[in-house]
Chain A
Amino acid sequence: MNSTAARELHLTIGSRFENIELVQAVVDDALRDGGATEDARHWIGLALREAVANAIKHGNRQDPDKQVEIQASFAPEEIELRIDDEGAGFDPLGVDDPLAPENRFRASGRGIFYMRKFMDEVEFEAGPSGGTRLRLRKRLIPISNATNER
């Protein structure tokens, strides 16, 4: 990131999948403005999509009356994304390994795996309103120093 000043974005969306596009577009614009590489923007965008999709689908059960809050904090060489839902909480230890042979042909269950592959840190905790708070962090390489990232 080129910017020396930390920036923050805060978005609140209804629990509809079409809102994921808006969230990704806003965060992507900020990453581009900060000088993040195209590769970094792609993989961070995918992780963000998975996080928000999980909050809508598994957290808020697609209840249109429940919201998802997204906070993105941009430091000079790091991005932190915080996603809060209004669901009943979540135990990440209960998630099956999508690489296990018995799970290879399952149509779902790869979202958290995506996030862990594309971000440096993924943390689940209880949110302030009883739902799940998810924190995703990734260190950013300035575009002038970057090769291929994932």
Chain B
Amino acid sequence: MKITKRERDGVTILEVAGKVTIGKGDIVLREAVQQAAGDGPAKMLISLGEVTTIDSSGVGELVSAFTTVTNRGGKLKLVNLPPKVNDILQITQLITVFEVFESEDEAVKSF
């Protein structure tokens, strides 16, 4: 599991690749979000296009990331959901919690 961080128009973009699963991927995601969120209101976009597997711990970390960023007055959105990740968010009804975009351009403009 790998996370690449970059900035675009004031938005922090975390590109996640690989398995977001218990024991490693979930921890890497948590640390990346904590570091990127800082102490103030963040504009954060998580790109999931290269995620191959997300288990319940990975989904839990996405929820925690959303809560962390929102509680600090920021916004966290998702982009590039692979079909199976989209299925998971539909099944868990978290698709209604997150703002989800199909393209990075569209997502960045929305902040």
Give the shortest distance, in Å, between A147 (CB) and chain B (any CB): 14
Q: Is the CB of A53 within 8 A of B92?
A: no
Contacting residue for A110 out of B21, B53, B92, B97, CB 8 A:
B92
Chain A residues touching B, range: 20 to 34
Contacting residue for B23 out of A18, A104, A150, CB 8 A:
A18
Please measure, in the bound complex, the distance between the C-alpha atom of A107 and the C-alpha atom of B66, giving whole angstroms: 10
Q: Is the CB of A150 within 8 A of B97?
A: no
Give the shortest distance, in Å, between A57 (CB) and chain B (any CB): 8
On chain A, the residues within 8 Å of B66 by CB distance are 105
Please measure, in the bound complex, the distance between the C-alpha atom of A150 and the C-alpha atom of B94, giving whole angstroms: 18
Q: Is the CB of A113 within 8 A of B56?
A: yes
Q: Is the CB of A108 within 8 A of B57?
A: yes
Please measure, in the bound complex, the distance between the C-alpha atom of A31 and the C-alpha atom of B92, giving whole angstroms: 26
Please measure, in the bound complex, the distance between the C-alpha atom of A17 and the C-alpha atom of B61, giving whole angstroms: 16
Q: Is the CB of A99 within 8 A of B92?
A: yes
Please measure, in the bound complex, the distance between the C-alpha atom of A42 and the C-alpha atom of B63, giving whole angstroms: 22
Contacting residue for B60 out of A16, A45, A108, A117, CB 8 A:
A108
Q: Is the CB of A20 within 8 A of B21?
A: yes
A114 beta carbon closer than 8 Å to chain B: yes
Q: Is the CB of A53 within 8 A of B57?
A: yes
Contacting residue for A117 out of B24, B63, B91, CB 8 A:
B91
B36 beta carbon closer than 8 Å to chain A: no
Q: A1-29, CB under 8 A of B: which get 1 and which 0?
A: 00000000000000011101000000000
B103 beta carbon closer than 8 Å to chain A: no
Residues of B within 8 A of A (CB): 21-24, 53, 55-57, 59-61, 63-64, 66-67, 84, 87, 91-94, 97
**Apart from the given pairs A110-B56, A114-B55, 6 other A-B contacts in the complex at a CB distance below 8 Å:** A18-B23, A20-B21, A20-B22, A46-B55, A104-B97, A150-B87
Residues of A within 8 A of B (CB): 16-18, 20, 42, 45-46, 49-50, 53, 57, 98-99, 104-108, 110-111, 113-114, 117, 150
Could you list 26 A-B pairs, sorted by A, with CB under 8 Å?
A17-B23, A18-B24, A20-B21, A42-B53, A49-B22, A49-B55, A53-B22, A53-B57, A98-B92, A104-B94, A104-B97, A105-B63, A105-B67, A105-B97, A107-B60, A107-B64, A108-B57, A110-B56, A110-B59, A110-B92, A111-B55, A111-B56, A113-B56, A114-B56, A117-B91, A150-B87
**Which 6 A-B pairs give the minimum distances between C-beta atoms?**
A17-B23, A110-B56, A107-B60, A107-B64, A111-B56, A53-B22
